[in-house]
Amino acid sequence: MRAMYKAMERKGVKTLENSQLHNGPFHKAAVTDVQFGPMRLQQDQLQVLLVFAKEDSQSNGFCWACEKAGFTCNIARTPETALESFVDKHHDIIIIDHRHSRYFDAEALCRSIRATKPSENAVIIAVVRRQSDRDEASVMPLIAAGFTRRYVENSNIMACYNELIQLEFGEVLAQFKLRACNSLFTTLERSQEAIEITSEDHLIEYVNPAFESTMGYQKDELVGKELTEVPVNEKKSDFLDTLNSCIKTGKEWEGIYYAKNKNGDNIQQNVKIIPVFGHRGKIRHYVSICRPCNDNNKAEKQRERVQAECQTDLQTCRHKDRRKGSLDVRSTTSRGSDGSSQRRHSSMARIHSMTIEAPITKVINIINAAQENSPMPVAEALDRVLEILRTTELYSPQLGTKDEDPHTNDLVGGLMTDGSRRLSGNEYILSAKQIHPVPGFISTFSLTDIPPRIAQAMENEEKWEFNIFELETATHKRPLVYLGLKMFARFGVCSFLNCSEATLRSWLHVIESNYHAGNSYHNSTHSADVLHATAYFLSKERVKQSLDQIDEVAALIAATVHDVDHPGRTNSFLCNAGSELAILYNDTAVLESHHAALAFQLTTRDDKCNIFKNMERNEYRTLRQAIIDMVLATEMTKHFEHVNKFANSINKPLAALEESEGSIGEDDSVKNVLTTPENRILIKRMLIKCADISNPCRALEQCIEWAGRISEEYFAQTDDEKRQGLPVVMPVFDRNTCSIPKSQMGFVDYFITDMFDAWDAFADLPNVMQHLDNNFKYWKGLDERQLRSLRPPPE
């Protein structure tokens, strides 16, 4: 035999090492790369232990085969040396001579080897005698002793070699991969995230120590049990249903999950459940990775710090002294934008473009994913974001409870709640309201022959400073018909609707007649005022760029009808009083639903005033939809939703585009933002909302008049509530004690400033904003003077 290996005798073990210089056809590298799932492993040269009491042709056959295969080969002559050698070297293959029981008990040796930990991954072969077919013995005793399989004696070097090669690519390779799993188990055992593995049938197969400590259970109490058996969560079966339907398709599930630990405490966790595909391409396991939402004090502190930092940032962005943390539109618009807000926006845009799941689920999933790679403070801040997304009325800022001015509190409570939250159970029914039919006689003036005083009062109707109260006086409280005729003519409404001026006039008459002249605020002058503001906004360049004529017509009609038959009481009042309307509309958007529904009833019940009668059906449906949408948008419980959606979908993308000014295709991009159907809806909603509550932005004299009128209407409601023993919705609006300046500052702070900031950033309204500023200063000055006059004079 060529001296290709160096022999070494040590405690009866002979080591035969293959030469690295071997360059025959069977040469192999000492180290082989093995791919195991996503892991790349390196397999060392295989080590073989031969246990043969005596050298013979069979042991030589294996020695030679080892050499040929490039494996290291040790030979042991006794069971003791074999065991010692194995414990020392952890051979991959052990071949034990099982033919001669007189030398040693091969099965006993195999059992002893199997009793050692490293034998877990060793392949042990028994060399057995060749037997006649008749005497073929069972392999069971061998298997029971721990042998992997048997080798029927055959000293042919090629037979030995083939056996070794089959082992190398069969059992040995499999065992080598299994050995690598130890590192994976170690990872699981040491992971700080709670991990649970279940079978396809939701049988718990594994939980790691972090899972045990989070849930307060011992491994043994969980492993082997069905998920539904363990009271980790009361709603587990519901959850499993959801989970099943969600991941049947092989997708991951990720979300927030409330589990109960052994003590019965609720634990809020971010959970990721991953199906693991296995045999026959089926899901064979589910791996759940859970991270408690607030896991320790340190994290809590970090979170508080991040929050504090965020708040500081917000406060420094704000320029109005009393504005609340509802929205910072300015910082997202062209005037105050920064690159990061745009970047944030573009990722938001990507989020919105996904359509598979509910958007909120996608948002939560994306935040969860972002948390994975984020530093602790960011991850904790995102936890807070998730909490808000899950639990809060998303668009309504929360009022600071204690130090909030009671005027603001009452206004917010009065305007932003409806029956579902304020119902008193008082079943008082408001008397059914008479609807005013089309008057038999309508003065037949036309635009060409309106009385000079009225014509004069409407002269500057294209300006913001137009005075609606002069028109109210000149028309003896019928401003809507006159202003309506003039404005609808300016926008070509009759020709769009294909109706006569006479029909339009009748319609305006009917609508105006159904406003309550007795209301101090919600009368037809308010409607005419909103119509004026609407027309003013429609003539702004950006708005014209965005809307089609059908949108303009819808906006003008919506403004005209938006408060028709308003009873001079708020939604809350109607719900508390159990009014017919509240019952009809289920305490939800009661007045706005009524205004829209009644407007169409009044219009379509009589051809004489039906301005839609000549419209093509589809166009009518589109127009009707747009009008209803705008009237419903005036409902104040949805105020922040509309404003925030506008800021996010219109202001932010426009700001981003303006920032990249001059880039190719910018005009097209702006046009795209402005004219998508969804964005046109948002623009129209914002337009009518701003028109509806634009009175704080009117010239000072008018602003004061409106403030007086709305306050009077609120006072009358409070009087009524007290008289009828109903809950007082806005107690500060008591005519004996109310501070109108304070109420106006509260209204502006809470509802107006942010909204007009966003609208101004879009439509460019410097004069409107100037009035708003002046008026606010006026109320502030008045409030301070009132306070001074109430203070006792210095001694």
Contact 142, 150 (CB under 8 A): yes
Is 83 or 636 the residue whose CB approaches ligand AMP more closely? 636
Which range binds Zn ion by CB under 5 A, 272-280, 478-486, 499-507, 560-568? 560-568
Question: What is the C-alpha separation between 135 and 139, in angstroms, rounded?
Answer: 12
Is 634 or 649 the residue whose CB approaches ligand AMP more closely? 634
Handedness of CA 411, 415, 418, 419 (dihedral sign): positive
- Tell me which residue of 46, 55, 98 sits closest to 75, measured CA to CA: 55
Say which entry of ligand AMP, Zn ion, none residue 407 contacts (CB below 5 to 8 A, set by partner kind): none
Tell me the closest approach of the beta carbon of residue 481 to ligand AMP, in angstroms: 20
Binding letters toward Zn ion, positions 509-548, x by CB under 5 A: ----------------------------------------
Is 257 or 706 the residue whose CB approaches ligand AMP more closely? 706
Contact 527, 556 (CB under 8 A): no
Say which entry of Zn ion, ligand AMP, none residue 695 contacts (CB below 5 to 8 A, set by partner kind): ligand AMP
Interface with Zn ion (CB under 5 A), residue total 2
* CA-to-CA separations, 786 to 404, 566, 622, 748, 780, in angstroms, rounded: 19, 33, 52, 19, 10
Say which entry of ligand AMP, Zn ion, none residue 419 contacts (CB below 5 to 8 A, set by partner kind): none
Is 94 or 729 the residue whose CB approaches Zn ion more closely? 729
Tell me the closest approach of the beta carbon of residue 469 to ligand AMP, in angstroms: 15
Question: What is the C-alpha separation between 92 and 87, in angstroms, rounded?
Answer: 12
Query: Exposure pattern of 290-311 as b/e (b: 16+ CB <10 Å)?
Result: bbbbebeeebeebbeebeeeee
Is residue 692 part of the contact set for Zn ion (CB under 5 A)? yes
Is residue 563 part of the contact set for Zn ion (CB under 5 A)? yes
Tell me the closest approach of the beta carbon of residue 706 to Zn ion, in angstroms: 11
- Determine the residue type at 490: R
436 is catalytic: no
Is 552 or 692 the residue whose CB approaches Zn ion more closely? 692
* DSSP label of 589: S
Is residue 713 part of the contact set for Zn ion (CB under 5 A)? no
Is 610 or 695 the residue whose CB approaches ligand AMP more closely? 695
Say which entry of Zn ion, ligand AMP, none residue 259 contacts (CB below 5 to 8 A, set by partner kind): none
Tell me the closest approach of the beta carbon of residue 776 to Zn ion, in angstroms: 21
Contact 200, 208 (CB under 8 A): no
Is 328 or 563 the residue whose CB approaches Zn ion more closely? 563
Active-site residue identified among 522, 526, 639, 771: 522
- Determine the residue type at 88: D
The DSSP string of 385-432 is: HHHHHHHS-TTSPPPPTTTS-HHHHHHHHHHH--HHHH-------PPP
Tell me the closest approach of the beta carbon of residue 244 to ligand AMP, in angstroms: 47
Question: What is the C-alpha separation between 593 and 662, in angstroms, rounded?
Answer: 45
Helix (H, G, I), strand (E, B) or coil at 315: helix
Binding site for ligand AMP (CB under 6 A): 411, 415, 562-563, 634, 636, 692-693, 695-696, 706-707, 710, 744, 747
Question: What is the C-alpha separation between 682 and 405, in angstroms, rounded?
Answer: 31
Which range binds Zn ion by CB under 5 A, 116-124, 334-342, 556-564, 624-632? 556-564
Tell me the closest approach of the beta carbon of residue 275 to Zn ion, in angstroms: 54
Question: What is the C-alpha separation between 490 and 610, in angstroms, rounded?
Answer: 20
Tell me the closest approach of the beta carbon of residue 353 to ligand AMP, in angstroms: 34
Considering only residues 311 through 370, tell me which ones interact with Zn ion, judged by CB under 5 A. none
Measure the CA dihedral 213/218/224/229, to 10°: -80
The DSSP string of 6-37 is: -EEEETTEEEEPPPTT--STT---SEEEEEET
Burial of 788 per CB tally in 10 Å (0-12, 13-18, 19+): exposed
Considering only residues 292 through 311, tell me which ones interact with Zn ion, judged by CB under 5 A. none
Say which entry of Zn ion, ligand AMP, none residue 707 contacts (CB below 5 to 8 A, set by partner kind): ligand AMP
Contact 572, 414 (CB under 8 A): yes
Is 123 or 755 the residue whose CB approaches ligand AMP more closely? 755
Say which entry of ligand AMP, Zn ion, none residue 568 contacts (CB below 5 to 8 A, set by partner kind): none
Is 236 or 698 the residue whose CB approaches ligand AMP more closely? 698
**Three-class SS of 675-729:** HCHHHHHHHHHHHHHHHHCCHHHCCHHHHHHHHHHHHHHHHHHHHHHHHHCCCCC
Tell me the closest approach of the beta carbon of residue 228 to ligand AMP, in angstroms: 51
Tell me the closest approach of the beta carbon of residue 685 to Zn ion, in angstroms: 14
Is residue 461 part of the contact set for Zn ion (CB under 5 A)? no
Say which entry of Zn ion, ligand AMP, none residue 706 contacts (CB below 5 to 8 A, set by partner kind): ligand AMP
Handedness of CA 644, 412, 538, 557 (dihedral sign): positive
**Catalytic positions, please?**
522
Residues lying near Zn ion in the complex (CB under 5 A): 563, 692
